[in-house]
Amino acid sequence: MDLVHREGLARVAKFSTPHGIISTPTIMPVINPNIRTISIEDMKKMGMEAIITNSYIIRRNDNLRTHALEKGLHDLMGFDGPIMTDSGTFQSYVYGDIEYGNTEIVDFQEKIGSDISTILDIFSVPEDTHENAEKAVNETYRRMNEISGERKTIIAGPIQGSIYNDLREKSAKLMSGTNAGYLPVGGVVPLLEQYRYGKLCEIIINSKLNASFDKPIHLFGGGHPMFMGMAVLLGVDIFDSASYVKYARDGRLLFQEGTRDLKEIMEFPMWSPIYGKYTAKELRDSSPEERTKVLAHHNLFTIFMELREIRERIYEQTLWQYVEEKSRAHPALFAAFKSILKYKEKLEPFFELYRKPPLYYFDESSQFNPYFVRLQKFISGNPGFCGQKSHVPEGAWQPSRLSEKFITEQYEKSSSPYFLRWMGIDVPVELEEAYPVEQVIDIEHYMEFESDEVPEITLSESERIRNFDLEKLRTLCDFQFGYGTGKEVFPDESEVTKSRATGRIRTVSLNGKFLATMRAHDGFLGLNIEGGNRLLKATRYPANRVVVNEDSADFNARGYNVFRKFVIDYDPNIIPLNDVLVVDSEDNLLAVGKAMLSGIEMATYRGGMVVSVNHHTRER
């Protein structure tokens, strides 16, 4: 997987197959080789890049089998792009044992030229006992290990485990340790049909967080647009579904927020491919074959429209917000969103240091947003914020403006920690400009207040004992790089330069050498080489570091980006988009750059860029 853009676990990425690249997140429409409801060309126009079909059906049919073996699967399907094949697992579950074994069906998939071939795993259902579900996990793992040696096809190793989180975790770890290059999450269709989205979210989270991050996560059968955004947010890359046809046969239409029955529809939306071609009555009166074809076209169009929206949201970094908004569309979705919030501490490390848009505060549930969680974790773990609290007088702070009188008369003449009462939590006043404190938008922005009262600031006769600008820089440093680093990186002799136009901190220097800049868009620190060297001395190996081998060290020292295959060690606590130190095996600083992956993800990614270098120690 080559990462293009991200928001937390959600990612726009490229996955290479023998017949081309699949851009994620996307869906593979399920195509029955015997029945073609929508043409390949029409699917391509909607955005289809890959399809999935069933190798068991092909193998059982003499004509299909002969065609596939002689001319190849792609000729049979009339499609020159990536094709994934299923193995017959579902048929085995429904009808009992099938006539082919695991290695036999995988060999067949490879012979006919499947790009992604699925092993014959053991299908688990929600009603399975823990004992039976674990047997299925173990047997699926055994079968995966039967498929050994070099293959021309990518092997899909399904993650099973029924509704049991410990078994999903176990299965994900087992499958990630095999030669499977593709990881579908199986056994979830019954949960989708029952609207048990909360349990499904738990399954996805426990599968994703224990799987190899450089392999695609595929949700078998997860093709309803109302749930897709939530699934992508939790790390699903690829879907497949025959729902577009199944719903059409039942006279139902998919919409981004749910499903509607053709019998109850009066008008079609203007975005639908049906609009202007049929009235609802004309479609109801049409033949079953024509009605199914037209509704299937609408349904698949809706799915791809939702995927385009999801991808755009990832680029904007507003997918969490989109899912939070959309969760109000159905009680099952809202219950699922609440189940996601239970995993807030596990999800937080994957979210970037900041994001481009503001954070929207809706209600108390917004306090479980990863950025709130990160703030509260920093505050509770910092001994300097313990004990008695002092609060900034009400009205003395607004985003971008902290009363100068408060700073000079109270803050700088006191050693007490001061806090802002912000969105229901107490935040250190030094983080007033850091994301998301300044960048949040909530209901108070749109409420009218008629009070013109000026906050009362108590005058103090005490001497000035600290500098607000310096304490702000130190607190930001502690937040980004660990408690205690602030004082080491920014000693008392540091010199602060401010913008004449805004009065904000712009740069900080020591003895004429730049240490860091304070970025206007997110309020965080960007370290220079001198600041990087001071951070290096202030922390123990491998904190805040990405360590490269000797083949890469000179290139990185001259400003070239860091790629995963040259990384030999890293700090597992790195969060994406934070500054990191690039060092060699002897802990010499080579460069300072922006992390593109979390430390947790670096453990399993095998390729791609991991650090975008900003400053380097040698000339090119």
Query: The domain spanning residue 523 has which CATH number?
Result: 2.30.130.10
Same domain, 409 and 542: no
Give the chain's mean pLDDT: 93
User: For 520-542, what is each residue's pLDDT tens digit?
Assistant: 999 999 999 999 999 999 999 99
Please say which residue of 310, 342, 374 terminates a domain.
342
Q: Is residue 553 part of a domain?
A: yes
Q: What is the mean pLDDT of residues 313-327?
A: 95
Q: What is the mean pLDDT of residues 113-142?
A: 95
Same domain, 10 and 96: yes
Same domain, 518 and 548: yes
Position 263 scores a pLDDT of 96
Domain span at residue 137 reads: 2-342
Same domain, 509 and 531: yes
Closest CA relative to residue 88, chosen from 111, 122, 44: 122
Q: Which pLDDT band, with edges at 50, 70 and 90, does 449 fall under?
A: very low
User: For 98-107, what is each residue's pLDDT tens digit?
Assistant: 678 899 999 9
User: For 335-360, what is each residue's pLDDT tens digit?
Assistant: 999 999 999 999 999 999 999 899 98
The first and second tokens of residue 464, run together, are 């000035």
Output b/e per residue, 43-67; b: 16+ Cβ within 10 A.
beebbbbbbbbbbbbbbeeeebbeb
Q: Is residue 35 part of a domain?
A: yes
218 beta partners: 184, 238
Distances (CA, A) of 2 to 78, 309, 312, 457, 611: 28, 21, 18, 55, 14
Residue 535 makes CB contacts below 8 A (sequence gap 6+) with 477, 481, 485, 488, 489, 527, 544, 581
Same domain, 445 and 486: no
Report, as residue numbers or ranges, the catalytic residues: 86
Amino acid at 561: N
User: For 45-97, what is each residue's pLDDT tens digit?
Assistant: 999 999 999 999 999 999 999 999 999 999 999 999 999 999 987 666 665 66
Q: 217: helix, coil or strand?
A: strand
The first and second tokens of residue 62, run together, are 């003499």
CA torsion angle 535 536 538 544 (round to 10): 80
554 phi and psi angles, rounded to 5 deg: -65, -40
Asked if residues 502 and 496 have their Cβ atoms less than 8 Å apart, the reply is no
Question: What size, in residues, is the chain?
Answer: 620
Q: 501: helix, coil or strand?
A: coil
Proportion of the chain above pLDDT 90, given as a percent = 83
d(CA 456, CA 393): 7
Q: Is residue 463 part of a domain?
A: no
Q: Which pLDDT band, with edges at 50, 70 and 90, does 456 fall under?
A: confident
Same domain, 379 and 477: no
User: For 558-601, what is each residue's pLDDT tens digit?
Assistant: 999 999 999 999 999 999 999 999 999 999 999 999 999 999 99
Q: List, in sequence order, the alpha helices (H) in 264-383.
A: 280-284, 288-316, 319-326, 331-341, 344-347, 370-380
CATH number at residue 260: 3.20.20.105
Asked if residues 231 and 222 have their Cβ atoms less than 8 Å apart, the reply is yes
Asked if residues 379 and 427 have their Cβ atoms less than 8 Å apart, the reply is yes
SS3 content of the chain, % helix, strand, coil (to 5): 40, 20, 40
Q: Is residue 466 part of a domain?
A: no
Same domain, 266 and 406: no
52 phi and psi angles, rounded to 5 deg: -130, 140
Same domain, 255 and 398: no
The first and second tokens of residue 28, run together, are 């593979």
CA torsion angle 379 383 387 390 (round to 10): -50
Which DSSP category does 30 fall into? B
Same domain, 288 and 165: yes
Q: What is the mean pLDDT of residues 307-331?
A: 95
Residue 521, CB half-sphere, CA atoms under 13 Å: how many? 6
The first and second tokens of residue 384, run together, are 């300097």
Output b/e per residue, 385-394; b: 16+ Cβ within 10 A.
beeeeeebbe
Per-residue pLDDT at 226 exceeds 70: yes
Read off the pTM: 0.94
Q: Is residue 417 part of a domain?
A: yes
d(CA 154, CA 50): 14
Closest CA relative to residue 260, chosen from 300, 221, 299, 228: 299
Q: What angle do CA 416, 417, 423 make, to 5 degrees?
A: 145
Same domain, 446 and 511: no
Per-residue pLDDT at 446 exceeds 60: no
Same domain, 19 and 156: yes
Cα of 27 vs its chain's centroid, Å: 17
How many structural domains are present in the chain? 3
Q: What is the mean pLDDT of residues 496-508?
A: 93
Same domain, 438 and 492: no
Q: Is residue 464 part of a domain?
A: no
Q: Is residue 465 part of a domain?
A: no
Residue 373 makes CB contacts below 8 A (sequence gap 6+) with 344, 345, 348
d(CA 594, CA 6): 14
Please say which residue of 458, 482, 506 terminates a domain.
458
The first and second tokens of residue 394, run together, are 């009400």
User: For 258-285, what is each residue's pLDDT tens digit?
Assistant: 999 999 999 999 999 999 999 999 999 9
Residue 243 makes CB contacts below 8 A (sequence gap 6+) with 221, 223, 224, 254, 299
Residue 301 makes CB contacts below 8 A (sequence gap 6+) with 46, 272, 273
Please say which residue of 430, 458, 486 terminates a domain.
458
Distances (CA, A) of 359 to 317, 423, 564: 10, 11, 31
The first and second tokens of residue 236, run together, are 């699903």
Q: 372: helix, coil or strand?
A: helix
Pairing outcome for strands 562-563 and 609-616: antiparallel
The first and second tokens of residue 536, run together, are 């290096």
Q: How many C-beta atoms surround the C-beta of residue 409 within 10 A?
A: 18
Q: What is the mean pLDDT of residues 189-197?
A: 93
d(CA 366, CA 372): 8
Position 434 scores a pLDDT of 95
DSSP structure string for 255-278 = ETTEEEEGGG-S---TTSTTTTT-
